[in-house]
Amino acid sequence: MSFSSLAKQELCRLEELRDCCALAELAALLHGCAILHLGREGWRLSLSTESPAVARRTALLLKHVFLVSPQLNTLQRRRLGRSKVYRLTLGPGPEVLQILLKTGLMRQSEEGLTFTRAVPGSILRRSCCRYAYMRGAFLATGYLNDPEKGYHLEICGTDAEYAASLCRWLNRQGLRARVVSRKEVQVVYIKDSEQIVTFLSMVGAHKALLEMENVRVEKDMRNRVNRIVNCEQANIEKTLSASQRQVEAIQDLERLGGLRRLSPALLKTAELRLEYPDATLQELGEYFSPPVGKSAVNHRLRKLEQLACEWKEKLGEE
């Protein structure tokens, strides 16, 4: 099961169902995926989702807030990998209009009934309800990337006006959401991992949050360890190859009788290098008494290499 589905399942199992929050969550679910039909007998509402958990949750909320029981049907989709679709239907009847008005999907004004294409701020005054609305929006059309593959949370819809309103509203809640239009679909998304964690904490997806934090820490650690290992590896190789070259040069000098002619400082350097082939320049400098700096050691070792070359050249060696 995908990370997104697991997060949704977790949210659907939340049992905190205050009346105010139940209404807010339901409002977002309906705004995200309800389809309305007006017939002779009044409004009919249907809601389709691929998640059985979301279908059950919506039915539960409808029952909790409006004391109605929608009908549940399972349909087999022909295309798209023959996935199942769970459809709730309610009405036609006057109770549907009540639901539409109370959840803020419709408004009664002087001009009559109008659809609202904005987040219904009037039912979201408390922070508990605002979080419930986010939860509903995510359950309706949300998607959360597996954090191993990258950080991305989105809520999709076809209505550009609603998407813009949802995005502005999320930003007022302290999140940094953006909208992008993908073909016919409007996508409200959050990319930043910290922000996604905040969102998950607001909506109550604590398991998903922990999972994501674990992945985040692990990834971070892996990256840091890799960086350190690469860096150390490179340093070790550099030290070894330079030191091997130096040791060879000194051995050449010894073999060709050049050591006798060295100044005391160079001779000491040569002796120390042979004694401590793995030491860094700094460490080598510390073996002198009095100690000498890294650059002086470097200079002397270069000089030794240079002398070895000169000696070899003089004696006709390669």
Q: Which residues are at the interface with Zn ion (CB under 5 A)?
A: 18, 20-21, 126, 128-129
Give the nearer residue to Zn ion in terms of CB position, either 129 or 209.
129
Helical pair 3-12 and 52-66, crossing angle rounded to 10 deg: 20
- Cis, peptide link before residue 290, omega less than 30° from 0: yes
Backbone conformation region of residue 108, classed left if phi is above 0, alpha if psi is from -120 to 50, else beta: beta
Q: How far apart are CA 272 and CA 270, in angstroms?
A: 5
Shortest distance (Å) from residue 194 CB to Zn ion: 25
Shortest distance (Å) from residue 144 CB to Zn ion: 23
Give the nearer residue to Zn ion in terms of CB position, either 20 or 267.
20
Shortest distance (Å) from residue 63 CB to Zn ion: 18
In the structure encoding, which two tokens stand for residue 292, read together? 């000498």
Shortest distance (Å) from residue 137 CB to Zn ion: 15
In the structure encoding, which two tokens stand for residue 258, read together? 């050049």
Q: How far apart are CA 57 and CA 203, in angstroms?
A: 15
Helix (H, G, I), strand (E, B) or coil at 291: coil
Give the nearer residue to Zn ion in terms of CB position, either 126 or 178.
126
Q: Which backbone phi and psi does 107 adopt, to 5 degrees?
A: -135, 140
Give the nearer residue to Zn ion in terms of CB position, either 20 or 247.
20
Give the nearer residue to Zn ion in terms of CB position, either 20 or 185.
20
Shortest distance (Å) from residue 185 CB to Zn ion: 30
Closest by Cα among 252, 257, 292, 296 to 274: 252
Q: How far apart are CA 27 and CA 89, in angstroms?
A: 16
Residues counted in the chain = 318
Which is it for strands 34-39 and 153-157: parallel, antiparallel or unpaired? unpaired
Give the nearer residue to Zn ion in terms of CB position, either 102 or 312.
102
CA-angle at 157, arms to 151 and 50, nearest 5°: 80
Residue with structure tokens 């597996």? 146
In the structure encoding, which two tokens stand for residue 223, read together? 């990256």
Shortest distance (Å) from residue 28 CB to Zn ion: 12
Which is it for strands 34-39 and 42-49: parallel, antiparallel or unpaired? antiparallel
Shortest distance (Å) from residue 204 CB to Zn ion: 12
Give the nearer residue to Zn ion in terms of CB position, either 130 or 273.
130
Give the nearer residue to Zn ion in terms of CB position, either 97 or 203.
203
Shortest distance (Å) from residue 18 CB to Zn ion: 5
